[in-house]
Amino acid sequence: MNEPKRLHKLYVLFPFFSVMKSIIPILVLLIIKGVNWSKFPWYGYAAAIVVIVLPFVLYGWFTWRKFSYTLQEDRIVLRRGIFVREEKSIYFSRIHSIQTQQPLIQRILRLAQLKIETPGGNAEADGVLPALAIAEAERVEQWLYQKRSEAAKKEEAPAAAEYAHEHAHHEEGESPEQNEGVIQEGPAPLVQREREVLLRLSAGRLFAGALTTMNLPLVVVFGTGVYSFADDLLPDHFYSSLVERAGQLSAIWWLGLVPVMFLLAWILSAVLFTIKYAGFTVEQEGGNITIVSGLLDRKKHVFSPGKVQAVEVKEGLLRQPFGYAEVEIFVLTSETEKKMMLHPLLPLRDVNELLARIVPQFELQPPVTCPPKRALWLFMRWKLLGAAVLGTAGTVFLGPTGALLFLLLPLCAVWGYGCFKDEGMSIQGKLLTLRHRTISRSTALMRRPHVVTVNTVATSGQRSKSLLSVRAKLMVNRIGFKAVFLEREQANAVKDWFRQASAFMKR
């Protein structure tokens, strides 16, 4: 394993594909503009292909030749660079996680990308092998995980040797040398780890789960990309004429258009969600949990169940009446994506069964303490005020039609009452449960060793009613989770629960 290895030969094409991603929009623009391609001679096209393709393929070839990786007994060594040579050694004991991914280019070429991350590394990972055959990527990943485990055992070996030496004389017929021989083992051969599929979701199940919620961030990102691309294609007067025509439409037409646009955005978000999480699979391999998903950009997240710091169970407006929820986990990892979906649409009664199979240290329990009745007005006041302001503004600017906005008052009253009924918290040993509703009902489960801070806040309205709001923050979620307008004793109980961990650490 000490011999230098190179990436897959198709890595030669990577610089060319990177440039093509910038050229394709220009070609599309020229096609839409109706450029007469026949007026250019054939040798002009040939020259353009040579000028564009050849330099980048040559650059890719030199990059491929100068990129190598070596698997040694205690580290992986990466060497790269054409003019400036760079050598990076990543010791197995420092490896935090290994991620196998398939971005679009790798997926087209049937390759995989391996990312090696260490604690405190940068956002782009400390070591990247951008083009490996899928089988080779799995083999290297398995090797790194095994060597990391062996490195961790070696760090524990001195303590184990001391323990064996102390108890050697109590074992009849054994000498200290024999005990040392049991501990000092040679390097273990590469062991094939057993893989068990814990969960696999079909595209239909993903689409059904996506239809029960509005994935607005996906729509915004997609719409921004389409607008940026269309802005280069459409004429300058297009937007001004569009705004002029929109201003000529009647209010009734707009009232009909808004639901149609909302429906289209809803369906589009469901399609994008299904593409993002296509092939969603959760596996258990060698004591680690693996989550694989993605149609165009396939990602593989590997983590230990002990790295999961919190579980969030979300019940949307369309899910809660039918008893369904979405389950997400927050994982301590060096990746920027620390929140991962565990299931998009699961009966609430089956959540604990899912958690027991994947993260058994968490258990969903209903809150045992809820806000007192005197807190009801605090849940409703701002919602009612917002509805009253909208109704007043609608009446002033739109007349009797705008007065229909006052119908939001009873809806906001129901909304506030629902927030009041759903708020709550519970403490069971080291497990803290906080439940809160903004629009969807969210139940957060977190364990005491992972909680970084616990804060209590009281506004003037809360102080007058002897109420407190509590917020618990994690390392992977600095915003944290909260429960509001609780009894002062209940909120302080969370702070006392957190102080137990601080007192234990001081010992």
Q: Write down the domain spans for the chain.
A: 5-144, 197-358, 373-506
Residues 250-309: pLDDT tens digits?
666 666 677 787 788 888 888 888 998 999 999 988 778 889 999 888 888 888 888 899
pLDDT for the residue numbered 218:
58
Helices (H), 83-193: 104-108, 134-166, 176-183
| Apex 207 CA angle, 230 and 360, nearest 5 | 125
- Below-50 pLDDT ranges, the chain: 159, 163, 167, 169-188, 504-507
pLDDT for the residue numbered 245:
66
pLDDT for the residue numbered 506:
47
The whole-model pTM stands at 0.75
pLDDT for the residue numbered 170:
44
pLDDT for the residue numbered 296:
84
CATH of domain 5-144: 2.30.29
DSSP of 399-445, one letter per residue? TTTGGGGGGHHHHHHHHHHHHHHH-EEEEETTEEEEEEESSSEEEEE
Fold of 373-506: PH-domain like (2.30.29)
φ/ψ of 88, rounded to 5, equals -125, 130
pLDDT for the residue numbered 473:
93
Residues 382-438: pLDDT tens digits?
999 999 999 999 899 888 888 889 999 999 999 999 999 999 999 999 999 999 999
Q: State the Cα–Cα distance between residues 362 and 355, nearest whole angstrom.
A: 6
Closest CA to 345 of 479, 207, 149: 207
